[in-house]
Structure formats: structure tokens, C-alpha cells
Amino acid sequence: MKELLEKIITFIPEYLMGLGKLLARPKTFLAKTRPNTKSGFRSGLQFLAISLVLFVISLTPLLPEGSDIWKNLAINSLSELLAVVVLACITRLAWLIVGGRASTRSLLTLYSYVASVVLVLSALTLIIADGTARVFNPALHAAIKQAQAAHQPIPAQFSNAYLAAVGVLICGFLVLSVWFVASWGAFRALNQTTRGRSLVAFILTNILSLPATFVMFLISRALSP
């Protein structure tokens, strides 16, 4: 674990610069990733690996008190990796249906970067939502953490803290959705298709992702301690 963290730390400066460019201009950044080359594919997987590790580690403080950190790290890593693989396959299937010309490797390269942004923005949204709930109602936030640690029902108490936290989650989802739409043009260029076919692939991807996401949620709940 120590060696893994040391390697990740050495890549952090370059990773942060790439992440900033990817967030600001997704289509331009993705077009320069050389997805059809082995080196481009390797770089995409490396970028995804760092994002996955940062995602899992950043959410560790949100775990209930007394949780087995290492067990949760393993479960969350496995769950998120499974989600990335399944959703990447769904995206590939959607493009195949509309006649996309991109190779599996090149499409997975682009999806590695897209999934990285999804992980980073999701983690950031969850952390801000948790912090917002704690600021608005510290007592209720503490009671919820205690209930989670004891595997008891969460207190059914109405509070502005809930509304504020939900508001943060909705804003995070909207920002992520807008960014995802902006990045889709890179997939269209890679697959050399028309805007109409790209729209169909986009719709298919979202429709097929709904049941897949629900199944993965059930799996992650089953693996949870």
C-alpha cells in the first residue's frame, strides 16, 4: 500500500494539470489523448487508476465511526471498478448499435478519462454535502453517524440540513451532467458518426445505464459490512 501511494504521489502534479484541462475543455483534451495508440491507452488507465484511488481515500472520512477502514477501502474499490467496467461496456454497445467505427481500445481510453471526472466530481459533491449537513445541524449529523455505526435506522427528523445537503447533491449532479454532455462530442469524433447517430448513442447509453446502475448498487449494498 505504501509503495502504491508513493507512486501515486509522484504522478499527482501531472495528474492535477491534466484534470484541470479535462474539466475546462473536455472535447479538446480528449482529442489529444491519442486513444488509438498503446501509450494513449496506458495513460488513460493510469489516469483512471489515480482517480479511483483518490475517490476511495477521500470518502474514507465519511465512513461511520468504528468502521473497518481497510475492508471498506477494498469493497469500495471493487464496487467502483466494477461500475466503470460495466458502464464502459454499455457505452461501447451503444456506439456499436449506431454503427460507430471506434475500436474497443480507443473508446475505453476516452471512457477512462470520463469515468475519472465522474469519480472526482462525485467525491467532491458527497464531501461538500456531508459538510453542509454538519454545518446546518451538527447534532443531527452526529446522530446520523452514530446510527450508521450501530446499524440502526437513521433518525427521521425534518431539518434544513437535509434540504441543504440534497441541494448540494442536485447541483453536483447537474454540473456533472453538463460536463458529460460537453465531453460526448469527443466520442462522436472518434466514432466518425453524424450528430443524429451520436444523439441516439447518447440516449441508449443513459437508458441502458439505469438498470445496470441499480444492479451495481444492490451488489455494493450486499458487499457492505
CB–CB of 84/101 below 8 Å? no
Please report where in the chains the cell 453542509 appears, as a residue: 132
Cα–Cα distance measured from residue 55 to residue 84, given in angstroms and rounded to the nearest whole number = 13
Half-sphere exposure of 173 (CA within 13 A, CB side): 7
Q: Which residue type, as a one-letter code, is found at position 3?
A: E
Residue by residue, pLDDT tens for the chain (225 residues) are 566 666 667 778 889 999 999 999 999 999 899 988 999 999 998 899 888 888 888 888 777 666 666 777 777 778 778 888 888 889 999 999 999 888 888 998 999 999 999 999 999 999 999 888 888 888 777 777 776 666 667 666 667 778 888 899 999 999 999 999 999 999 999 999 999 999 999 999 999 999 988 888 787 777 666
| HEC profile of the chain | CHHHHHHHHHHHHHHHHHHHHHHHCHHHHHHCCCCCCHHHHHHHHHHHHHHHHHHHHHCHHHCCCCCCHHHHHHHHHHHHHHHHHHHHHHHHHHHHHCCCCCCHHHHHHHHHHHHHHHHHHHHHHHHHHHHHHHHHCHHHHHHHHHHHHCCCCCCCCCCHHHHHHHHHHHHHHHHHHHHHHHHHHHHHHHHCCCHHHHHHHHHHHHHHHHHHHHHHHHHHHHHCC
Residue count of the chain: 225
- Check residue 78 and give its pLDDT: 80
Task: Classify each residue of 40-77 as buried b or exposed e, where b means 16 or more C-beta atoms within 10 Å of its C-beta.
Answer: bbebbebbbbbbbbbbbbbbeeebeeeeeeeebbebbe
Give me the pLDDT at residue 29, please: 94
What's the pLDDT at 150?
A: 60
Q: Which residue has the cell 473508446?
A: 107
**How many distinct structural domains can be found in the chain?**
1
Q: What is the pLDDT of residue 177?
A: 94
Note down the domain range covering 41. Answer: 2-223
**What pLDDT score does 204 carry?**
95
Residue 3's pLDDT is 67
- The C-alpha cell at 210 is 439505469
